[in-house]
């Protein structure tokens, strides 16, 4: 994926024409195990950077998918509600959670590159 950045909470984000698509990394889904429930945000919901955007429950734990940039929810991946296992199968593709119309692209610049994220993961193990 080009134009993808990462957070310390193991979310990935891609930027395309001011819209940021948000999901969790392969590392995160692997740590969570089989995902069994997902609650998505509402379209039109305003969020600040770091706000809880979606809720995930797995066989091991519950967690949230934080918003990497502030903005308004533009789309949600409704298919995850009935098929949360998509996140385990394709976390960086079909397993995306929601899209945000970014309100401040300077927040995008604060996110980690792929190389920085890989170093972060290696150091936290």
What's the pLDDT score for residue 56?
96
Residue with tokens 């930027």: 15
CB 47 within 8 A of CB 95: no
How far is 109 from 4, CA to CA, in rounded Å? 11
Number of structural domains, the chain? 1
Confirm whether 47 is domain-assigned. Answer: yes
- Residue 2 scores a pLDDT above 70: no
The model's pTM is 0.95
Confirm whether 18 is domain-assigned. Answer: yes
- Residue 125 scores a pLDDT above 90: no
CB 15 within 8 A of CB 100: no
Confirm whether 96 is domain-assigned. Answer: yes
For 36, the domain range is 4-104
pLDDT tens per residue across span 4-25: 999 999 999 999 999 999 999 9
CB proximity list for 112: less than 8 A, separation 6 or greater: 5, 6, 7, 8, 120
Confirm whether 98 is domain-assigned. Answer: yes
Confirm whether 117 is domain-assigned. Answer: no
Q: Supply the CATH number for residue 44's domain.
A: 2.40.50.100
Size (the chain), residues: 125
Query: What is the CB neighbour count within 10 angstroms for residue 89?
Result: 12
């Amino acid at each position: 994926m080009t134009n993808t950045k990462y957070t310390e909470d193991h979310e990935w984000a891609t930027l395309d024409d001011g819209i940021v698509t948000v999901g969790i990394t392969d590392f995160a889904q692997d740590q969570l195990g089989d995902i069994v429930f997902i609650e998505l945000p509402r379209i039109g919901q305003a969020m600040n950077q770091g706000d809880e955007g979606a809720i995930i429950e797995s066989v091991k734990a519950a967690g949230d998918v934080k918003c990497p940039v502030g903005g308004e929810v533009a789309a949600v991946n409704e298919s995850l509600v009935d098929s949360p296992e998509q996140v385990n199968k394709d976390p960086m593709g079909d397993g995306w959670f929601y899209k945000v119309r970014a309100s401040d692209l300077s927040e995008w610049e604060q996110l980690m590159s792929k190389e920085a994220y890989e170093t972060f993961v290696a150091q936290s193990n």
